[in-house]
Every structure is written in C-alpha cells, then in structure tokens.
Amino acid sequence: MKLLKQLALIAGFSVVGEIISYLLKEILGIFIPGSLIGMIILFILLTTKVIKYDFVDDVGEFFVNNMGFFFVPVAVSIMNYFGILAPIWWKLLLIIIISFFLTFVSVGLSVKLTMLLQDKMRGDIDD
C-alpha cells in the first residue's frame, strides 16, 4: 500500500505539471513539458520539507534503479526513423560528443566551484 501511495503522489505531481503546461501553452504560448514542471514542483516541496523524503523514496529509488528500461521506447522510436537519420548520423554523433564534453566540463567546474565556496564558508581557505 505504501508503494501505491508513493506512486500516486509522483503521478499526481506529473498530472499537475501537465495541467500547468497546458495552461502555459494556451495562455502565454510557452511550452514546457508537464513532467518537468511536475518534478520541479516535487523538488521544491521536498527541499522545503513540505513533503517528507520518506513519502517518495521507495518508488523514486525503483525509478532510478530501472532508468535504462525507460529508454527502450525511445531507442525503438529512433530505429523507426532510421531512414531520416541515416544521412545525418555523423552530425548527430558530433553534437552528442560535443555536448557530452561541454556537460562534463561544466559539471566539473560547478563541483569545483561549489567545493571551493564550501571550504571558504567553513574558513578552510584564506583570502
């Protein structure tokens, strides 16, 4: 029963996100994926401790542990469009490689900056 409640809570945030996404698109003409909006709302409520971590931890852990499984439909869809993608495969590969390295470097620099700021706040580093 606990897992069902956790799943319902996560699904509820997804539904709320979809509603907000629809309203944003209709009123302002801005499209933001509803699942993203729902997860941002859930993140904010978790970090402000409005919702306790225990309310979503088991189902969240299941989703993270089985994340690869959720990419299977995407991979199958890509295979369905192979004829369209075949002439530009090298461009896609180049974009993937460049974005990987940009992400890798930006995350590394962000972590380094965060650690530096944490050390500075603790007084470990003198100016």
Do 96 and 47 lie in one domain? The reply is no
Instruction: Give how many domains the chain has, as a whole number.
Output: 2
Do 47 and 8 lie in one domain? The reply is yes
Do 55 and 92 lie in one domain? The reply is no
User: Residue-wise pLDDT tens for the chain (127 aa)?
Assistant: 888 999 999 999 999 999 999 999 999 999 999 999 999 999 999 999 999 998 999 998 999 999 888 888 888 888 888 888 889 989 999 999 999 999 999 999 999 999 999 988 888 665 5
What residue numbers bound the domain in which 15 lies? 1-65
Do 55 and 103 lie in one domain? The reply is no
Residues near 20 by beta carbon (within 8 Å), at least 6 away in sequence: 34, 37
Q: How many CA atoms lie within 13 A of 66 on its CB side?
A: 8
Residues near 19 by beta carbon (within 8 Å), at least 6 away in sequence: 34
Q: Note the pTM of the prediction, 2 decimals.
A: 0.62
Whether 5 is in a domain gets the answer: yes
Whether 7 is in a domain gets the answer: yes
The kind and range of the H/E element at 21 are: helix 2-27
Do 30 and 61 lie in one domain? The reply is yes
Whether 13 is in a domain gets the answer: yes
Whether 73 is in a domain gets the answer: no
Vertex 48: Cα angle to 46 and 54 (nearest 5): 35
